[in-house]
Each structure stands twice: as structure tokens, then as C-alpha cells.
Amino acid sequence: MIHKRPVQRERLFWGLILMMLLFVLILASCSDENTDQLPKPRAYPRVDFPEKGYRQIDREMCYFGFELPVYAEIKDYSGEIAGAINKQCWFDITIPAFHGKIHCSYYPINQTNTLDSLIYDSFTMVGQHTIKAQYIKETRIELPNKVYGVLFNLSGPAASPTQFFLTDSINHFFRGSLYFENKPQVDSMEVVYNFVNQDIEHLLNSFRWK
């Protein structure tokens, strides 16, 4: 006996196959559209870093010397300095490539500028940035030739992300603060901070009292 294939069931089967194929095509097209609409990651301008290199700096009538990056410049401080004895020992180390500067100041330790008051003022200046800073790292400095101090690294949108002070604890006190002219953008400036901080660490390690 020959059994005839039910035509209605066969049509239903192929109809389901066509519906499944159509459903898959719709999902694929929706996936492509969603992919095009996904937000693209934020892009930042490319930074071309200069080649590392250093030169010796000895300021006349100052009591210290250090090594400075070849792409940095010394700019004498032109403003009024209250209570300063030697204005030639107040200056900015400018880094034109990054629109940055390290404001440097020197104080002789005496009855007016005691070591305790100078250290207190340095910590106070760092404390002024704690409102925006997310974290402050303090690194103790102890080098030959009686060079002692503290290096402060501030994370977050702080106006001055790096500060430091150096002293021989008897006669001399030297302080530096890093600033950038542009508005702090942590994500885009992090690589620049890291690059400049390497130069600051080199300055500190090469620092000598005269």
C-alpha cells in the first residue's frame, strides 16, 4: 500500500523554515545598526615627546645646582617677592612643549624663616589642593651632600600635581611646584604628568648644595 505524503504538513514545515530565516536576517540587521550607534571611545590629541637629555645648571649667587632637561628653560621670576633676600634664586623652569612650569623658590634658614615654619608652609600649600586631589603620595628624600626633603604627587584634577621641598636642615630651603597653563584633564594629561615627573625626579636626584 502506498501512503501519500500530507501536502499541508509539508507546506507548514517550509513556512516555518522561511520564518526562521527571516527572523535571523532581522536580528543581523538590528545588530549592525546598534553597532553603528555605539558611542566611540574618547580620543585625545597625540603627544610628541622630546628625547630625554639633561644639562647642568648652577645659578650665580645661589647655593645649589641640579641637572635640567635640555628642552626646559630657566625664566627669572619677575614678580615682587615679599621677604626674599636673593631674588635670583626665585625662578620658573618652563617646559614650552607642554605649556608647563615648575615654580622654584629659595629661602635661607634663619630666625625669620625657621625650618619648622618653612616645612609647615610647604605642607599647607599641598593641603590647599586636597579639595580636588583624590590621593596624595608623599615620598621621603634623603640624598648625599645633606639633601633631605619630601616629594608630593597628587592624583586627580589638582592645579599643581607635583610639589617638593629640599633642605640641608641648617642653612638652606628650596621648594618647587609644577603647574600647567591648560585646565587639568586627568585622562588626557596623565602621560604628560608621568613624562615631566621623570624629569622632576632626575632634578631631585642630581640636586646638590654649593
25 with 99, same domain? no
Separation of alpha carbons 147 and 62, rounded Å: 15
Q: Collapse the DSSP code of 68 into the 3-class scheme (helix H, G, I; strand E, B; otherwise coil) and give the result.
A: strand
Give Dmax (Cα) for the chain.
123
Tell me how many domains the chain contains.
Answer: 2
174 with 71, same domain? yes
119 with 153, same domain? yes
Q: Which domain holds residue 137?
A: 54-209
Q: What is the pLDDT of residue 188?
A: 65
79 with 12, same domain? no
**Average pLDDT score over the chain:** 81
Q: Span 180-204, mean pLDDT?
A: 83
By percentage, how much of the chain surpasses pLDDT 70?
67
62 with 34, same domain? no
27 with 79, same domain? no
114 with 63, same domain? yes
107 with 188, same domain? yes
pLDDT digits (tens, 9 = 90+) for 123-172: 999 988 767 667 889 999 999 889 999 999 988 777 889 999 999 999 99
pTM of the predicted model, to two decimals? 0.73
**156 phi-psi bin (left φ>0, alpha ψ -120 to 50, beta other):** left
48 part of a folded domain: no
195 vs 16, more confident: 195
- Between 3-12, 33-42, 113-122, the lowest mean confidence (pLDDT) is in 33-42
Separation of alpha carbons 98 and 12, rounded Å: 71
Q: What is the pLDDT of residue 144?
A: 87
33 with 63, same domain? no
Q: What is the DSSP string of 143-176?
A: ETTTEEEEEEEEESS-S-SEEEEEE-SSSEEEEE
Q: Assign 37 a pLDDT band (cuts: 50, 70, 90).
A: low
118 part of a folded domain: yes
123 with 30, same domain? no
Q: What is the pLDDT of residue 134?
A: 74
158 part of a folded domain: yes
Q: What is the pLDDT of residue 175?
A: 96
182 part of a folded domain: yes
6 part of a folded domain: yes
Q: What is the pLDDT of residue 25?
A: 66
96 part of a folded domain: yes
121 with 21, same domain? no
Kindly list the distances between the CA atom of residue 67 and the CA atoms of 56, 72, 124, in Å, as whole numbers in the listed order: 4, 11, 28
Separation of alpha carbons 157 and 166, rounded Å: 25
What CATH number corresponds to the domain at position 144?
A: 3.40.1000
106 part of a folded domain: yes
195 part of a folded domain: yes
1 with 96, same domain? no
